[in-house]
Amino acid sequence: MRQGGDLVGETQTVPVPGPSGPVQIQIVINRDGASRPVEVFIHGVRGRDRSMTNALGRIVSLALAGGIPADAVSRTLSGIGGEDPPVWWNGTQIRSIPDAVAKVLAPRGDG
C-alpha cells in the first residue's frame, strides 16, 4: 500500500462501547517522515466485529495511501454510533469503533 521509507507508529488504547460495557482496543497510526498518517491498524476486537474492524483499518489505510487527507477521513468516520451507550476518553465521547478511529486520526490538537 505504501512506498518505502521509515514510519513512526503511535498506539492509542481507547475504550469503545460494547454490549457488556466498555472494551479497550488499540489503534495504531503509522506516520511518514512528514508526520502524515499512512496506515491504520486496530487490535483488541473480538467476535464478529473483528473482521469488520480489520476491513475498516484496511479501507482507511487505502484512503490515506490514495492521498485523501486524514482530516477528511476523520470527519467522515466521526460521530458514527452504534446501539451501545457511548463511553468517554480524554474528555471526548466515543460512540463506536469508527468514531474512535476518527478521534485518534484527527489532526493533532483538534481532538
C-alpha cell at 74: 476523520
Kindly indicate the confidence band of residue 5, based on its pLDDT and cuts at 50, 70 and 90.
confident
C-alpha cell at 99: 468514531
**Model pTM score:** 0.89
Beta bridge partners of 79: none
Q: What is residue 47's predicted lDDT score, i.e. its pLDDT?
A: 82
The Cα 29–Cα 86 span in angstroms is 23
E strand intervals along 32-86: 37-43
Interval 26-43 mean pLDDT: 94
Kindly indicate the confidence band of residue 108, based on its pLDDT and cuts at 50, 70 and 90.
low
Q: What is residue 11's predicted lDDT score, i.e. its pLDDT?
A: 96
C-alpha cell at 12: 492509542
Residue 68 has pLDDT above 70, yes or no: yes
